[in-house]
Amino acid sequence: MNFKVWISGIVNIILFAVLLIMALAFVLSKASGGEPNVFGYQIKTVLSGSMEPTFKTGSIIAINPDIKLEALQENDVITFRIDEQNLVTHRIIEVIKQGEAIMFRTKGDNNDAPDSDLVLPQNVVGKYTDFTIPYAGYFINFAISKMGAVFLLIVPGLLLLGYAAVSIWQAIRYLERKPDESTTKSV
């Protein structure tokens, strides 16, 4: 097989795979209202350095939303709501039980002091699953933005169409030359 044909096939596969992955990431993120769910786990983006070195700013982490609050204990890392729009992921440093009530005192690994407010059970979104991809959160945040959607869906699509047009043009040129060679070989 010709080296150019081999490289052409590889480039074609890569462009198609990138387009497919971007479309899938975009659809998953839009369907879940922001960050995607994968196999029942929620994918969250780390926006601050409060938990470094456990995970870096810009990483994505997976949390399990299906947890039993009574099973949470010291050193577990949880994601919880601090208000309607903001989530925080910090480590439990103390489980406080008062009768039937349970609350959690949390602290970021990189913070000097514990969080000022206790975490109520109804604010716990999930437990960190020890799955992290460093710096991938920057990509997810870009992908769900309007500019990211344009860049990650339209640009690879245009590149794929352009590549297909060039391939078709080259095939037509090759076929137009082919008949000339066959007429000179007749006996």
3-class secondary structure, 104: strand
Nearest to 60 by CA among 27, 34, 97: 34
Report CA torsion sign: 94, 106, 65, 121: positive
**Among 48, 59, 182, 186, the one annotated catalytic:** 48
Known catalytic membership, residue 182: no
Q: Collect contacts of 119-124 with beta carbons under 8 A, ≥24 apart.
A: 119/78, 119/80, 121/69, 123/80, 123/81, 123/82, 124/67, 124/69, 124/72, 124/78, 124/79, 124/80
Catalytic sites, residue numbers? 48
